[in-house]
Chains A and B, each alone.
Chain A
Amino acid sequence: GDSVTQMEGPVTLSEEAFLTINCTYTATGYPSLFWYVQYPGEGLQLLLKATKADDKGSNKGFEATYRKETTSFHLEKGSVQVSDSAVYFCALRGALTGANSKLTFGKGITLSVRP
C-alpha cells in the first residue's frame, strides 16, 4: 500500500538558517504530494502541493519539487523564521482516477526555530 517516510526529528534551527525536511514515498503510479503544517494549538493547514512529476509547489517561502525518479518531495526554505516553528507533515494522495482521495501521511516532524 501507499506509504510516506519522513526524516526523524525534532529539528532545531536558528533564525535565518536553511531548512530541508526530507520526505520519500511509496505508491503506485503518479500520486499527488502535499506538505501540511500544524502550528501550535491550530489545525492542519495545507502548505503546498504538487500533482505531477517535476512540479514545484511553493508557498510562504517554502518549496518542494516532485521527484519521480527518487520518489521524493523534500521541503526547503532558504531562511526560516521563529514563526515557522510548527509540525510539518508530508502526505500523498493515491493516483487512481476515481478512487478514494484519502491522504496518507508521514509521522510529522517538529521544527523549532530559535531567535
Chain B
Amino acid sequence: DTGVSQNPRHKITKRGQNVTFRCDPISEHNRLYWYRQTLGQGPEFLTYFQNEAQLEKSRLLSDRFSAERPKGSFSTLEIQRTEQGDSAMYLCASSLRESARDTDTQYFGPGTRLTVL
C-alpha cells in the first residue's frame, strides 16, 4: 500500500498526558499537512510542511502542540498535557507541489482518533 499511513489509529489517554502521532506520507511527496476533525465538522487545518520546513501554523495549534518533519519524510504531531477538548480525529495529508501554480492534490491518511478521558 503506497498511500498515506498514520499510527496509531486510535489513542486513549488521560487528561494531562502527552501523546505523539506519526504520519508517513506518500513517497516523494514534498508537502505534508495536519488537520483536526471533530464530530459533525469538516477537517480544520493545523499546520503544514514543505520538505522539512514548517511553513505555517494555524491559530488552532496552541503551544501544547508541536509538529516535526525531520529529513522531510515522516512527520510527528505531539500534544503535551492533553485536555478533553483535544479529543478529535487527527488527519494527515500529503501532496506533490512542483511549482507555485500547481494545484497539488492532497491525499489523506485514515486518521488517528484521540480520546482524552
Contact = CB atoms under 8 A, between A and B. Distances in A.
Given A32-B103, A98-B100, A108-B40, 13 more contacts: A4-B42, A36-B108, A43-B3, A43-B4, A43-B109, A44-B91, A44-B93, A46-B106, A93-B103, A101-B106, A102-B33, A103-B106, A104-B45
A102 B48 contact: yes
Contact of A108 (B42, B56, B106): B42
A75 interface: no
Contacts of A91: 42
B110 A107 contact: no
Interface string B74-110: 0000000000000000010101010011011111111
B44 interface: yes
Interface in A48-66: 49, 51
A97 B111 CA distance: 29
Contact of A107 (B4, B41, B48, B105): B41
Interface size classification for chain A = 20 to 34
The A interface is mostly helix, strand or loop, or mixed, namely strand
B31 interface: yes
Contacts of A93: 103
Contacts of B109: 43
Max count, chain A CB within 10 A of own CB: residue among B40, B42, B45, B103: B42
A46 B42 contact: no
Given A101-B31, A102-B33, A102-B45, A42 B110 contact: yes
B70 interface: no
Contacts of B105: 46, 49
